[in-house]
Chains A and B, each alone.
Chain A
Amino acid sequence: MAGDSAVWLDEVVQRVVDERRIGDLATVVGASDGAEALVGRKLLAERDGTWWGSLGVTDLDQRVAHDGAQALQERRSRIGSYVVALEPGAEATVEVFHEILEPQPQLLIVGAGHIAVPLAKFGSQLGFEVVVLDDREKYANRERFPDADQVLAADFGATLRDYPITEASYVVIITRAHTYDEEALRLILHKPTPYVGMIGSRRRVQTVLRTLAAEGYARERIAAIHAPIGLDIGAEMPEEIALAIIAEVVKVRRGGSGESLSRQGRPIDF
């Protein structure tokens, strides 16, 4: 066995689970004659090309970490083959499993109104850590959000300023007034989140976006805001709107098009 499993488990749990950092856990899963001792060894590569741990051969670590950064870009686990020189004249081939470990995604719902209730349920069902924030205790409470992982009854600005928002955080802004929406956006726009959506009519959305632009926020960040929020599924009821929102979140997370599968590509002959 490759040493003490507690060591790599500690490292992986800390980075991926606790700090919510995406990583490529590279494991030697196969080796030709002479390199069997490497099987089971691990290295955890990050997007910036740095890595933790070692597969036991220095230049192999470098190549694997390099490929790991690539695998992280594509977010696709795969097996790679590497030729290693064990000693001058003796080569072996090792199979390395590049496993993309994605942190649990977080759904941060800003505003605990009537759409937030079904949205929290859907998010929880889909494996998100659900956090609900509203400054009104009457809305932000456990009774309304039994499935949420955290319900915060606190000031929007003060809470969001320090709240850890990472590349695994999907933020849905559905407060009761555009002044709160703006306040939330100001604090979230510069964070690395892959998704920020905001509810509102095109007119209300325009007001908010113009305000932010006038304040000097980066235009490409403003343009990336999903507002009006959600996929077009003709939603009317709060539950349907929540479904349209969570569908858009999943679409962004998984890289889908949001189109009906039946309407993609060539029509099926029949």
Chain B
Amino acid sequence: MPASGDLNQILREARRRVGAGERVALATIVQTRGSTPREVGAKMLVFEDGLFMGTVGGGCGEADVLQATLDAIESGSPCMLHVDLTADEAEESGDVCGGVMDVFIEPLASPTAR
């Protein structure tokens, strides 16, 4: 479970942005196997300009998640991203990564806002 303070902040920020008519996307870890850097429920809120708050990987696998959230903002469709942190690439970069996680990515927007 994420630190609840973070969760509060992310939910509040999501509501504020969506209420203001922005398009954002939320990535949430829904399932993990092995030793992943973050736990089920950890969230990353991504804005249209690519900035974000929160983390689902503490740096590990985050580039893939970021790209998928930006795609989701564009397409308006949710998707599930399978992130494999056991790949050689992660080891080479020296990250403390491992495990496999499923990340649900959903665009958030309010057609009635603005």
Q: Do A and B come from one complex?
A: yes
Q: Is B110 an interface residue (CB 8 A)?
A: yes
In Å, the complex CA distance between A80 and B107 comes to 22
A77 touching B41 by the CB < 8 A rule?
A: yes
Chain A residues with CB under 8 A of B31: 79
Q: Is the CB of B107 within 8 A of A1?
A: yes
Task: Identify which of residues 79-131 in chain A touch chain B, using a CB-to-CB cut-off of 8 Å.
Answer: 79, 97, 99-105, 127, 129
Which chain A residues border B28 with CB–CB below 8 Å? 97, 99
Report A137 CB to chain B, min CB distance, Å: 28
Q: CA–CA, A9 to B113, complex, Å?
A: 13
A6 in contact with B110 given A1-B77, A29-B104 (CB within 8 Å):
yes
Assess whether A99 is in contact with B41, with CB atoms less than 8 Å apart.
yes
> Does chain B have a CB within 8 A of A10?
yes
Q: Are A127 and B3 in contact (CB under 8 A)?
A: yes
Given contacts A29-B80, A105-B4, contact A9 B111 (CB under 8 A): no
Q: Is B98 an interface residue (CB 8 A)?
A: no
- Interface stretch, picked from A11-19, A50-58, A219-227, is A11-19
Query: Chain B contacts of A30 at CB under 8 A?
Result: 80
Identify which of A4, A17, A79 contacts B112 (C-beta below 8 A): A4
Instruction: A192 to B50: give the CA distance in the assembly, Å.
Output: 42
Which residue numbers of A lie inside 8 Å of B, CB to CB?
A: 1-2, 4-7, 9-10, 12-13, 16-17, 27, 29-30, 39-40, 77-79, 97, 99-105, 127, 129
Contacts from B to A (Cβ < 8 Å):
1, 3-8, 11-12, 14-15, 18-19, 28, 30-31, 40-41, 76-78, 80, 104, 106-113
- Other A-B contacts than A4-B110, A103-B8, 10 sampled, CB-CB below 8 A, are A1-B78, A5-B109, A6-B19, A9-B14, A9-B108, A10-B15, A13-B11, A97-B28, A104-B5, A104-B7
**23 A-B pairs in the complex with CB atoms less than 8 angstroms apart:** A2-B78, A4-B109, A5-B107, A5-B109, A5-B110, A6-B113, A9-B11, A9-B14, A17-B8, A17-B11, A27-B106, A29-B78, A29-B104, A30-B80, A77-B30, A100-B41, A101-B7, A102-B7, A103-B4, A104-B4, A104-B5, A104-B8, A105-B4
